[in-house]
Amino acid sequence: MKKLINDPRAVVEEAVEGFGLAHPDLVTVTADPLFITRKDAPVAGKVGLVSGGGSGHEPLHAGFVGLGMLDAAVPGAVFTSPTPDQILPATLAANSGAGVVQIVKNYTGDVLNFETAAELAQAEGVDVRSVLVNDDVAVEDSLYTAGRRGVGGTVLVEKIAGAAAERGDSLDAVEEIANRVNQNVRTMGVALSACTVPHAGVPSFDLAEDEIEIGIGIHGEPGRHRIPLENADAITARLLSPVLEDLQAAPGQKVLLFVNGMGGTPQSELYIVFRAASQILVEAGLEVQRSLVGNYITALEMQGCSISVLKLDDELVELWDAPVHTAALRWGV
């Protein structure tokens, strides 16, 4: 295993420290317990947005802390949920009195620990709502979750709900919009290779040179099936077929197409996938009105990608286009 690290046990702390040093204009890092807040948090009168989860998915979530997205992010150990004693102070730091929305990916540890932190925050007088992201169509249950996993759609929920909070929407309204995005987005992923968790030192699973795993999760969980390697167009069709079947988008529907890299895939290959996915959506009678391509929710250095399709309405388009200024996503500012 070759990695640019010092001590495998200190990877998260050192990475977050470096993140804070790189972006002092955007974020503040609190070391004990470990969490990240936007520089001007809490923003007076604004609903706070808090998310988090295991590290190894960067830039999720810390890279999305800033204007128009998250007010706080809570990193756990690699592929491991943060603890309530991290999530609680992050929640309190994001609260300006207008309440806080937690955006939680559907993994058992995340769900339980964010729920505990929400109860503790509510005991301190903070109105906390939780939105569960479960956009993965690959499997209903996995090693990490009961029900569908939260994957690429998380980025879209954080951006659009963040824009709603930034424009001054109420707690009820931000919660509703976050849930609306989750209900209208579906995702499917593929792995061409495994990732190596630093403290484990070995790949999380074995794939032969001529094999791929369809329906993989962001922690290297098993997918639907393992098949021989195919070309990009064929793989893209395999990923989009269950997405479109589950999404049930009518012809003429406007959509956002998000092709996300898993950490080890070149941008050029992601654009090849986007090309094929866009053609498939057009053939299905859908209009690709907005797009996002790049590494935004990763699995360390895993090769592969995920494809997310979000059904849009006029309000969601407006919120997607709204200004955002974070380390990993910025436009309109």
Distance CA 254, CA 257 (A): 10
Distance CA 133, CA 101 (A): 13
Q: Which of 257, 289, 252 is nearest to 274 (CA)?
A: 257
Distance CA 331, CA 333 (A): 6
Are 173 and 131 within 8 A, CB to CB? no
CA angle 194, 247, 184 (to 5 degrees): 90
- Identify the active-site residue in 199, 219, 225, 325: 219
Q: In the block, which residue shows the tokens 């007088």?
A: 125
Three-state secondary structure call for residue 232: helix
Active-site annotation holds for 219: yes
Three-state secondary structure call for residue 270: helix
- Identify the active-site residue in 23, 57, 199, 325: 57
Where does residue 5 rank: exposed (0-12), middle (13-18), buried (19+ CB within 10 A)?
middle
Active-site annotation holds for 225: no
Q: Which of 131, 240, 234 is nearest to 183 (CA)?
A: 131
Task: List the catalytic residues.
Answer: 57, 219
